[in-house]
Chain A
Amino acid sequence: MKVVDRAGMKGAQKFYLIAVAQGLLVTLGHAVKNLLNPARMPVVFYPEQKKALPPATRGRHRLMKRENGSPRCTACMLCATACPAECIHIQAGESPDPEIEKFPERFEIDMLRCVFCGYCVEACPLDAIRMDIPDVTIADYTRDSLVYNKQFLMSHDNRDIVADYNPPRPVIWTHGPHARP
C-alpha cells in the first residue's frame, strides 16, 4: 500500500493527542452551548413548525385558466411529448369556443411517475401549466389518488403564488387517509 506523506505534518502535529484534544474541545463547546441555549440550534420541530418555501419553489402542477374560466390549454401535446417520465395523459376534444380549435377533455398527471423536471412548463407555448404550488410533501395511501385530474389541477388560483399561499389539497387528502375519490 502506497502511503502519501501529506505536507505540513511534522513535529508536534504528528503527535495525535494534541489535535484530538483540540477536536474534543470543539465538540464539547457545541454541546455545552446547545445545553445552555437550546434556541441557538438551527432546527425546526418539523410537523408542528414548517419553513415557508420560497416563491420560486418548483412544486406541484396547476393548470391556468382563461378569464372565462376555461382552460388555457389547447391540447397541443407539447408537454406530454416533452415529459421524460411520460406522466402526462391528455385526451383532446373539440372546444366549445369557435375561436379555439381544441381543449383537453381529460388532463391527468401521474404524480407517481413525475420527476419534477419542469420540462412541461418549459414546453408550454400558452403558459397553461405551471409548477409553482409550494407543496412538496406529496404522499398518499393509494395509487389512484396520486393521479391528479383536470378538475383538481384547475382548482387552484390563477394569481401569482406568494410565500404564504395555502394551496387547495385534493379532496382525497382532506377526507381521511384511505378515502378515495
Chain B
Amino acid sequence: MDDQIFTLINITVMTIVMWIMPLQFVPVMIWLERKGSAIIQDRIGPNRAEILGFRLFGMIHNISDVIKLLNKENITPSSANRFFFVLAPFWSMTVSLLPLLIIPLAAPIELAGHAIRFQAVNFNVGVLYIFSITSMGVFAVILAGWASNNKFSLMGGIRSSAQMISYELSMGLAIVSLLMVYQNAQVGALIMAQGGLLTFFGHQIPLPNWGVFLQPVAFLLFLAASFAETNRNPFDLAEGESELVAGYHVEYSSVKFALFFVAEYSNMVVASFVIATLFFGGYQVPYFSTEVLSSHPSEVLAAVCVLGFIKCVLLGYFIGLKARQQATVFKKGVEKWEPYIFSAIFYGLAAAAIAGLVYAFTGSFAPWFGPVLTVLLQMGCLLAKVLFFCWLFVWVRWTLPRFRYDQLMKLGWKMLLPLGLLNLLATGAWLLIQK
C-alpha cells in the first residue's frame, strides 16, 4: 500500500476514534456521577431500571434517560431568536468534541514497515489549538442565554461567560509557565519530554519528569481554572438553581437540552484528558520509556497481567459484597443472581490474568507483539489517569459547596491571576539560574 494512503487512513481512523471518545465517556461519567454521589452520601444509587431483570448496577438508567429526552417535546419559545437558539447547543457540542483530536493515545510505532501514530493531528501549536477551541465554548453559553429571551437564562449566560473569561487568564498563565519549562508547544513532543526522570541542578530525582512535579503551582491553577471552565462545582454559578432556576439552558428541552448535557460531560472528559496530558505525562508509563517497554514484551505482559489480576480481584470482591447485600432483599430470580454472575466473571478474568502471567514467562513472542502490547499499556495508562480526573470532578462536586459570585471573581482576579503571574516570574528566574 502506498505510504500516503496508509497515513490518510490512519489519520481518518484516529480522527473518528478521538471524535467519538468523549461521547463514549459521557454515559460512564453520568453513571459515575450518580453512583459516586450515592456512595459518598451513604446511599445505594440508581438500581431500578432493568432489561430482562439485568440492572448492570444502574447503567440501564442511561438508556432510559436517552429515551426520555428524545420523547420530550422540542420547544422553541415564541419570542426566542430562533437561529441562535438552535445554534447554541450544536455549537456547544461541536466545541466540546474537537479538542481531543490533538491528544495522542499512545506513542507512535513502526509496524510492518508502516509508521502508525495514535494521534489525529499533530500541529506545532498543538497546545494552543486546544485552548483556542475550548475558549470558543463561551459563545454557546452566551448565545443560549441571550437567544432564549428569558431573564434567568440571560443572567446565567452572563455570569457564566464572565466566569469563563476570567478563569481563562489564569489557565493561560499556567500553560505559559509550563511551555516555558518544556520549550515546546507540540503535544507529542511535550509528552516525550515528560518521559524521563526529574532533573534538579544536574541530579536525577526518582520522580517522573511530569508537569505536575516541575510546575506544581501551575497545576493547581490549571485544575481550579478547568473546574471553572467546565462550569462544575464549586464554580457552577451558571446554574445556581437557588437563584437562576437552571442558568443558561432554562428554556431548552428534549434533544437540545440533551446536547447541552452531553457537552457539559464531554467538556469534563476533555479537561481530564488535557490535565492528564499536560501535567501527568499523557500516555507515558511512569519510570518506563516507550523503548524499554517495547523491547521487553514478556516483562510488560507480566506487569499487565499482575495489574489486571489486582483490578479484577478487587472488582470481583466489591461486587461480591454487593451481591451478599442484594441477596438479603431479592430472594429469587435475575435480581438475586446478577451480582454473583458479574463477580464470577471478574474472578474468571483474574484467573485468565494468572494464565497470562504463566504464558509471559514461558511463551515466545512475535516481533510485533512488543510494540502492540506497549501501545495497549500506554492507552490503559492514559485512560487510568483520565478516569482518575473524571472521578475527581465528581468527587469535588459532591464535597464542596458553591462559591458566591463575588468570591468567585475575587478568587479568579485577586488570587489565581497574581499567583499565575508570580509563578511565571519564578519560572523565568529559575530557567535563567539553571542556565
Contacts and interface: CB of A to CB of B under 8 A. Distances in A.
B395 A28 contact: yes
User: Which secondary structure dominates where chain A touches chain B?
Assistant: helix
Interface in B9-50: 36, 39-44
B44 A49 contact: no
B39 A35 contact: yes
A39 B44 CA distance: 10
A20 B399 CA distance: 8
A36 B40 contact: no
Secondary structure at the B interface, as helix, strand, loop or mixed, is: helix
Given A30-B39, A31-B36, A38-B322, A43 B44 contact: yes
Interface string A1-42: 101000000000000110010011011101100111111111
A23 B325 contact: no
A23 B395 CA distance: 10
A48 B335 CA distance: 12
A39 B39 contact: no
Contacts of A40: 42
Contacts of B399: 20, 23-24, 26-27
Interface in B339-375: none
A43 B42 contact: yes
Contacts of A43: 42-44
B329 interface: yes
Interface residues of B, number: 21
Interface residues of A, number: 25
B318 interface: yes
B192 to A, nearest CB: 31
Nearest to B406: A1
Interface in A127-168: none
Residue of B36, B42, B318, B322 ringed by the most chain A CB atoms within 10 A: B42
Contacts of B400: 20, 23
Given A45-B329, A48-B330, A49-B329, A30 B42 contact: yes
A28 B41 CA distance: 10
B37 to A, nearest CB: 10
Contacts of A3: 406
A41 B398 CA distance: 17
17 contacts: A1-B406, A3-B406, A16-B411, A23-B399, A24-B395, A24-B399, A27-B399, A30-B40, A30-B41, A30-B42, A31-B39, A38-B44, A38-B322, A40-B42, A43-B43, A43-B44, A45-B329
